Amino acid sequence: METAECLNHMAPYLFAQIDKKRDALIAQGADVISLGIGDPDMPTPEHIVEEMARAIRRPANHRYPDYNGSPAYRRACASYMKTRFGVELNPETEVLALIGSKEGIAHLHTAFVNPGDYVLAPSIGYPVYSGGATLQSAHTYFMPMKEEQGFLADFSNIPDDVLKRAKIMFIGYPNNPTGACATEEYFDRAIEFCLEHDILLAHDNAYCDICFDGYRAPSILERPRAFECCIEFFSLSKSYNMTGWRIAFACGNPKAIEALGTVKNNLDSGQFTAIQEAAIAALTGPQDCVREMCEIYQRRRDLVVNTLRSIGVSCTAPQATIYVWARVPEGETSESFATKLLEKTHVIVTPGNGYGPDGEGYIRISLTIDDNRLTEALERLKTLIPS
Ligand code: MLT
């Protein structure tokens, strides 16, 4: 049996690979601590679970959902965007329900990219940006992303032949995995660039609610002319501890929303309406749960950053996200250090090179574990750092 040619170029999904190693160690009886995938340890807030319990009992919800998301869910997404960012959206044409933002990001390629085209992805980024291109038999051009430039993906030197065939540019701030945040000026330059080169600008805003030290993460749709070329992805996964529920939305340019909707209508039948109803409770209900979560993550961030710095490991304290991005010790690569940590101390971190070429020399630590286990993991990590 011959599989599609594009699969020959497709790497196994980063976290699926890490899970395999974890499961093998656990099977041997190891006490593994995972600071790998960003999968919140705290439960979904009670009022959302309660709404789900009610919604699942409504027989009307047991039928096929609306393809683009229920009108009520799309209105709730628009209302969240208005309250949170002051962005006005038409829920009928500018909002689309997703079965998790990963799904929407992957399918965006099907809507816009032909074989041989280019996707512009940050050289440190969510693996799905380039993975989606590979599945379309398209190429990825990695935009340099350097610490000296605040991890802002640099689109100033893209060769002309790449630009001519570039269809989508992906960026995401607050950034996974570096935790970097973008300035308004950076967003404006990205919009201007994409308008000039007729490229769809896809902004991944999955971490916008997890902010620290009074920082407020913006939506790119707040910026002038954004609706002419931008689609933005929001996820309820991290904001409301709903990774397992698979619920998100895309919004922005109506043509991009329609195109993504056409791909999805032909591939899936929408998200379970009961989940959409629970998501409405999340987006429009009390937001203290989000604030409380941010306080917990901020405390964990400080614990990790202070400990790493105290043993000479260089890292920046992120103003947002659930990750700390740290340099590996001298003489190590991302892979060698992550492997050593796993094999010698049974602590999982994500090797930076798994996010693209400029991720080499870094590891990502997730803050999605309680303080005691986090402290224990850091103690184990310390044993690998030469004093
Ligand atoms: C992450 O850890 O980067 C994400 O949660 C993984 C994912 O969405 O697949």
Classified as helix, coil or strand, 139 is strand
Predicted pLDDT at 221: 98
Burial class from Cβ neighbours inside 10 Å (0-12, 13-18, 19+) for residue 229 reads buried
What's the pLDDT at 15? 82
Asked whether the bond before 122 is cis by omega within 30 degrees of 0, the reply is no
The pLDDT of residue 14: 81
Q: For a substitution probing ligand 1, which of 14, 17, 126 has the most ligand atoms within 8 Å of its CB?
A: 126
CB 345 within 8 A of CB 386: no
| 38 in contact with ligand 1, CB cutoff 6 A | yes
Domains of the chain, start order: 5-44+288-384 (3.90.1150.10), 46-284 (3.40.640.10)
Whole-number pLDDT of residue 259: 98
Report the atom number in ligand 1 closest to the C-alpha of 102.
8
Report, as ranges of residue numbers, the positions in the chain whose pLDDT lies below 50.
Answer: none
User: In this predicted structure, what is the pLDDT of residue 12?
Assistant: 83
3-41 pLDDT, tens per residue?
Answer: 999 999 998 888 888 888 889 999 999 999 999 999 999
Distance 215 CA to ligand 1 centre (A): 22
Backbone angles phi, psi at 215, to 5 degrees: -70, 140
Handedness of CA 43, 45, 51, 54 (dihedral sign): positive
Tokens of 33: 């601590």
Ligand 1 midpoint to CA 243 (Å):
9
The pLDDT of residue 97 is 98
Nearest in space to 189 (alpha carbons), one of 154, 142, 218: 154
Overall pTM surpassing 0.75 (yes/no): yes
| Ligand 1 geometric centre to CA of 190 (Å) | 24
From the CB of 311, is ligand 1 less than 6 Å away? no
